[in-house]
């Protein structure tokens, strides 16, 4: 189009293309008749893969008169042609749109049409970019000296357009200046800004005026690339103002400090209890969880976890994390004073789960969570949560969640945790299982109660710095645990005792998990890799199993082992009495002993503590069988006072099986001393 309505320019371009062996057709309709333009292209080429909108007009005079025309051509024209082409591109799952802007548009009053179209089209492989070319044309010859027009050749612009149209080019939503053989990309920059209102106060223009210098100060400016990044710091202002009545603080810095220096206060947080939460479930939740961690009817062994009518229908042991996480997911963590964290930056760091009895397949469980510790890891903060889950008064399981808050370190807290992750043994694994997660693994797993949008919402995942939603850590954890259960415990949930895992790298839904396992007694060390990338994703991990049953009075060890153990118990009893009755009341212990099947003098007595196990006497146990039982407080006292022989009492049925393991730290110290004997 020229200043006069004419088809000559279009015909000339068509001729030029055809002369070079290309295929071209001219359409003389207005860009406001977008449908007609696109129809002409479809009639000629059969499809629309790429289009380049160059709705150029430049009339510097008669401004008011023509502003409406400029708007109709530039804005409405671009819109109407795009709309006409959109469905064709969407259906064929490919499209490249190049818009033309001008430097005047960019620096004067830049709109976001390219950005919006880019966002909208991304999932259909339609990319939209904008170029602001400077080239000699009929348009610019009216405002530029002729020699400059001659040297700013269109050939210096066209290659950029061609590249942006190429199916290998992934650029989307970009804005480029191009001319004379030079290309540059533009982006937004945002000042740190300033908060100009106080809690419960109206915002007023005076505050804006007073902070104007800071609002416009581009020192340490940030470069938001999308609406989520933009919103993140703005949303953080809300909590900042509400909690501290802030005025005169910049939101980006506020966002940072909300998760670092002033956001985390271990002294305030540690020891805080979350409101108890109740979790009711039946076979539906057990089955849904089993499906969520990849069980399938393809494997006949899995049926006992997937079919409530199966004679051995059971709940997977790692379901033990589900009732306890409800305590945190219900918003509990966000209510803890001293833990002002940005939930878009929360990752699961580690998990420890210990079961004191096999989980039921239905019932009501109550969980009580306490902030056990807050560690300053530099690159992040680690929040440790202890969660005890009860059925009535009976302790069913204990979890320790380790929550890693990226970017929230540096608040000056202590760094170390007592439990360093264990490396796997230095030999080839005893077993390896490879299992695929599906594209919808996270979508399925979340139905068990971890509703964190990180695992389903691409925008939320982007706020955490991920290209796409990632798999729940506890989903990979469930995969690894069931691999061990099948490989080393015949899928028998009653053999499962405890599991510890560190999440070192995210897993994407659809990737395959390779679980490597090393058996060392009843401890199975594990490491998980993503098969496609060979990256280790779970490390410092192990599952503790109970040894297979098979003990009976006939094969109990005789003599030495039992006697030594009784002496040790008696000594512990004396020490406990010295500590006073308060402590004694708190003590419920599990005693276990492990015996060989041939019944020779090879007993190994252990006392299991809440956070590990204290071995009292190391016999030459060969790991073939064990017996575990618990005692009531009264019986415990009798045992530790040496009045009751635990072996005899157990087999005569006097000791009641309870499964509670609760020992105070002070007692643990004593037991550790004895472990050295
Ligand atoms: C509200 C309810 C809350 C419930 C929480 C769970 C909700 C879920 O929905 C969330 C999820 O499931 S997220 C998915 C699973 N988790 C992941 O994918 C995380 C993967 N890990 C990582 O990316 C990095 O290890 C990363 C980013 C964690 C750490 O990497 P870096 O910053 O590079 O750390 P690095 O330099 O290697 O080490 C610094 C110190 O931190 C310790 N550390 C590293 N990884 C850790 C981890 N995973 N857990 C705990 N500590 C960890 C290091 O040991 C080091 O400390 P030190 O020097 O003292 O040893």
Beta strands in 441-551 (DSSP E): 496-503, 512-520, 523-530, 535-545
Compare 540 and 614 and report the one with higher pLDDT.
540
Domain with CATH 3.40.50.720 in the chain: 31-186
Q: What percent of the chain has pLDDT over 70?
A: 64
In three-state secondary structure terms, 145 is: coil
Strand partners, 53: 99
Q: How wide is the angle at C-alpha 485 spanned by C-alphas 482 and 488, nearest 5°? A: 140
Nearest CA, atom 27, ligand 1: 406
Compare 124 and 212 and report the one with higher pLDDT.
212
Is 505 close to ligand 1, i.e. is its CB under 6 Å away? yes
In three-state secondary structure terms, 389 is: strand
Is 372 close to ligand 1, i.e. is its CB under 6 Å away? no
Domain with CATH 3.30.1050.10 in the chain: 563-674
Q: Which helix (H) or strand (E) holds 607?
A: strand 604-609
Beta strands in 431-476 (DSSP E): 431-436
Is 329 close to ligand 1, i.e. is its CB under 6 Å away? yes
Q: Which CATH class is domain 269-545?
A: alpha beta
Cα 525 to ligand 1 centroid, rounded to whole Å: 20
Pairing status of strand 625-630 against strand 590-595: antiparallel
* Spatial contact of 342 and 404, defined as CB atoms under 8 Å apart: no
CA 257 to chain centre: 22
Instruction: Kindly report, residue by residue over 479-529, the tens digit of the pLDDT.
Output: 999 999 999 999 999 999 999 999 999 999 999 999 999 999 899 999 999
Instruction: Kindly report, residue by residue over 141-179, the tens digit of the pLDDT.
Output: 666 777 777 777 778 888 888 888 888 888 887 888 888
* Spatial contact of 152 and 134, defined as CB atoms under 8 Å apart: yes
How large is the ipTM? 0.98
Fold (CATH) for 563-674? Nonspecific Lipid-transfer Protein; Chain A (3.30.1050)
With a cut of 50, say whether residue 466 has pLDDT above it: yes
Instruction: Kindly report, residue by residue over 107-121, the tens digit of the pLDDT.
Output: 543 344 444 455 455
Domain with CATH 3.10.129.10 in the chain: 269-545
Cα 244 to ligand 1 centroid, rounded to whole Å: 29
334 Cα nearest atom in ligand 1: 1
Cα 426 to ligand 1 centroid, rounded to whole Å: 24
Instruction: Kindly report, residue by residue over 252-272, the tens digit of the pLDDT.
Output: 444 444 334 447 889 899 999
Q: Which of the listed residues 404, 448, 449 should we mutate to test ligand 1's pocket, taking the one with most ligand atoms within 8 A of CB?
A: 404
Least confident of 3-7, 42-46, 193-197, 228-232: 3-7
For the chain, the residue count is 677
Nearest CA, atom 47, ligand 1: 349
Among 512, 363, 373, 369, CA closest to 432: 512
pLDDT of residue 27: 79
Is 138 close to ligand 1, i.e. is its CB under 6 Å away? no
Instruction: Return d(Cα 2, Cα 5) in angstroms, integer.
Output: 6
Which of 3.40.1080.10, 3.40.50.720, 1.10.10.10, 3.40.50.1970 is the CATH number of 31-186?
A: 3.40.50.720
Beta strands in 356-507 (DSSP E): 363-376, 380-391, 394-406, 431-436, 496-503
Is 377 close to ligand 1, i.e. is its CB under 6 Å away? yes
In three-state secondary structure terms, 463 is: helix
Is 533 close to ligand 1, i.e. is its CB under 6 Å away? no
Q: At what angle do helices 560-579 and 665-675 cross, to 10 degrees?
A: 150
Is 214 close to ligand 1, i.e. is its CB under 6 Å away? no
Residue 652: exposure state from Cβ atoms within 10 A (0-12, 13-18, ≥19): exposed
With a cut of 50, say whether residue 187 has pLDDT above it: yes
pLDDT band for position 285 (50/70/90)?
very high
343 Cα nearest atom in ligand 1: 1
Q: Which helix (H) or strand (E) holds 114?
A: helix 113-121
Instruction: Kindly report, residue by residue over 312-341, the tens digit of the pLDDT.
Output: 999 999 999 999 887 777 567 777 888 888
Q: For residue 390, what are the contacts with CB-CB under 8 A and spacing of at least 6?
A: 365, 366, 367, 368, 396
Q: Which of the listed residues 325, 340, 379 should we mutate to test ligand 1's pocket, taking the one with most ligand atoms within 8 A of CB?
A: 379
Instruction: Return d(Cα 486, Cα 435) in angstroms, integer.
Output: 13
With a cut of 70, say whether residue 545 has pLDDT above it: yes
In three-state secondary structure terms, 383 is: strand
Backbone angles phi, psi at 275, to 5 degrees: -60, 135
Instruction: Report in angstroms the alpha-carbon separations of 542 from 479, 480, 501, 528, 545.
Output: 13, 10, 7, 11, 10
Cα 406 to ligand 1 centroid, rounded to whole Å: 8
Helical residues (DSSP H) of 129-250, grouped into ranges: 146-151, 158-165, 205-210, 212-215, 227-244
Compare 200 and 85 and report the one with higher pLDDT.
85
pLDDT of residue 66: 37
Is 452 close to ligand 1, i.e. is its CB under 6 Å away? yes
Instruction: Return d(Cα 57, Cα 62) in angstroms, integer.
Output: 13
Q: Which residues are catalytic?
A: 115
Q: How far apart are the first and last CA of the chain?
A: 96
Compare 243 and 337 and report the one with higher pLDDT.
337
pLDDT band for position 453 (50/70/90)?
very high
pLDDT of residue 229: 59
Instruction: Kindly report, residue by residue over 376-435, the tens digit of the pLDDT.
Output: 998 899 999 999 999 998 999 999 999 999 988 888 888 876 556 678 889 999 999 999
Return the structure tokens found at 65: 């008169």
pLDDT band for position 449 (50/70/90)?
very high
pLDDT of residue 194: 81
The mean of the pLDDT values for the chain is 73
């Amino acid at each position: 189009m020229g200043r006069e309505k004419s088809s000559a320019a279009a015909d000339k371009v068509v001729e030029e293309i055809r002369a070079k062996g290309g295929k071209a057709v001219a359409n003389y309709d207005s860009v406001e008749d977008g449908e007609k333009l696109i129809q002409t292209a479809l009639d000629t080429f059969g499809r629309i893969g790429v289009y380049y909108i160059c709705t150029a007009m430049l009339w510097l005079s008669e401004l008011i008169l023509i502003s409406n025309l400029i708007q109709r051509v530039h804005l409405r024209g671009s819109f109407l042609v795009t709309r006409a082409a959109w469905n064709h591109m969407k259906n064929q799952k490919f499209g490249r749109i190049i818009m033309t802007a001008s430097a005047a548009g960019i620096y004067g009053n830049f709109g976001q049409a390219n950005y919006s179209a880019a966002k909208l089209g991304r999932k259909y492989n339609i990319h939209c970019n904008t170029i602001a070319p400077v080239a000699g044309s009929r348009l610019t010859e009216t405002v530029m000296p002729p020699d400059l027009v001659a040297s700013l050749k269109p050939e210096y612009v066209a290659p950029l357009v061609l590249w942006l149209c190429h199916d290998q080019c992934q650029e989307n939503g970009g804005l480029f200046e191009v001319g004379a053989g030079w290309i540059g990309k533009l982006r937004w920059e945002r000042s740190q800004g300033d908060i100009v209102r106080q809690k419960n106060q109206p915002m007023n223009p005076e505050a804006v005026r007073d902070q104007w210098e800071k609002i416009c100060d581009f020192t340490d400016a940030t470069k938001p690339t999308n609406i989520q990044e933009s919103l993140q710091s703005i949303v953080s202002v809300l909590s900042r103002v509400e909690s501290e009545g802030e005025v005169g603080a910049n939101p980006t810095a506020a966002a940072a400090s909300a998760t670092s220096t002033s956001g985390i206060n271990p002294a305030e947080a540690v020891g805080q209890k979350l409101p108890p939460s109740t979790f009711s479930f039946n076979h539906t939740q057990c089955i849904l969880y089993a499906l969520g961690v990849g069980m399938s009817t393809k494997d006949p062994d899995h049926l006992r976890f997937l079919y409530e009518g199966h004679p051995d229908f059971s709940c997977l042991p790692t379901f033990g994390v589900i009732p306890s996480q409800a305590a945190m997911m219900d918003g509990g963590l966000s209510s803890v004073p001293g833990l002002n964290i940005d939930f878009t930056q929360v990752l699961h760091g580690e998990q420890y789960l210990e079961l004191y009895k096999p989980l039921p397949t239905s019932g009501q469980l109550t969980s009580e969570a306490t902030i056990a510790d807050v560690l300053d890891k530099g690159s992040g903060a680690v929040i440790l949560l202890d969660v005890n889950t009860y059925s009535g008064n009976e302790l069913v399981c204990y979890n320790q969640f380790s929550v890693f808050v990226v970017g929230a370190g540096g608040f000056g807290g202590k760094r170390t945790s007592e439990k360093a992750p264990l490396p796997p043994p230095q030999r080839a694994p005893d077993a390896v299982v490879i299992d695929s997660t599906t594209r919808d693994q996270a979508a399925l797993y979340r139905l068990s109660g971890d509703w964190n949008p990180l695992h389903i919402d691409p925008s939320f995942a982007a706020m955490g710095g991920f290209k796409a939603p990632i798999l729940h850590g506890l989903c990979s954890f469930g995969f690894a645990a069931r691999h061990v259960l099948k490989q080393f415990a015949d899928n028998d949930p009653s053999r499962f005792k405890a599991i510890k895992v560190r999440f070192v790298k995210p897993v994407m839904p659809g990737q395959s998990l390779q679980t490597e396992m090393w058996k060392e007694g009843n401890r199975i060390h594990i490491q998980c890799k993503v098969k496609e990338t060979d990256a280790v994703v779970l490390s410092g991990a192990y599952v503790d199993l109970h040894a297979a049953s098979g003990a009976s009075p006939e094969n109990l060890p005789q003599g030495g082992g039992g006697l030594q153990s009784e002496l040790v118990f008696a000594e512990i009893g004396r020490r406990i009495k010295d500590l006073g009755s308060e402590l004694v009341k708190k003590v419920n212990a599990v005693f276990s002993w492990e015996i060989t099947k041939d019944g020779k003098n090879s007993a190994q007595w252990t006392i299991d503590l809440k956070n590990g196990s204290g071995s009292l006497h190391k016999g030459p146990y060969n790991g073939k069988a064990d017996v575990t039982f618990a005692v009531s407080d009264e019986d415990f006292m009798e045992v530790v006072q040496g009045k009751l022989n635990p072996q005899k009492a157990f087999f005569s049925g006097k000791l009641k099986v309870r499964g509670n393991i609760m020992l105070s730290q002070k007692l643990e110290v004593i037991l550790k001393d004895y472990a050295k004997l």
